[in-house]
Amino acid sequence: MEGENLLQRRKRVNWEGEWDYECVVCEEWLDKEAFGGCSKDVDAYGNCLMCKSCRYKSSTKKKMNTEKKGVEAVLQAIGFYDYPNAEAWYEAVKKKHGY
Q: Is residue 3 part of a domain?
A: no
The distance of Cα 30 from the centroid of its chain, to the nearest Å, equals 20
Q: Is residue 1 part of a domain?
A: no
One digit per residue, pLDDT tens: the chain, 99 residues? 344 445 677 888 888 888 899 998 898 999 888 888 887 878 877 788 899 999 899 888 888 889 999 999 999 998 899 999 989 989 988 888 887
Q: Is residue 83 part of a domain?
A: yes
Task: Provide the residue range defining the domain that includes 61.
Answer: 11-97
For residue 99, the model assigns a pLDDT of 76
Distance between CA atoms of residues 35 and 97, nearest Å: 55
The reply to whether the predicted model has a pTM over 0.85 is: no
With beta carbons less than 8 A apart as the criterion, state whether 24 and 6 touch. yes
Task: State how many domains the chain has.
Answer: 1
For residue 6, the model assigns a pLDDT of 52
Q: How many CA atoms lie within 13 A of 25 on its CB side?
A: 14
Q: Is residue 5 part of a domain?
A: no
With beta carbons less than 8 A apart as the criterion, state whether 48 and 7 touch. no
Distance between CA atoms of residues 36 and 89, nearest Å: 49
Q: Is residue 6 part of a domain?
A: no
For residue 7, the model assigns a pLDDT of 63
Q: Is 38 left (phi over 0), alpha (psi -120 to 50) or beta?
A: beta
For residue 58, the model assigns a pLDDT of 87
Smallest CA-to-CA distance from 37 within 26, 50, 20, 24 is with 50
Helix (H, G, I), strand (E, B) or coil at 91: helix
For residue 2, the model assigns a pLDDT of 42
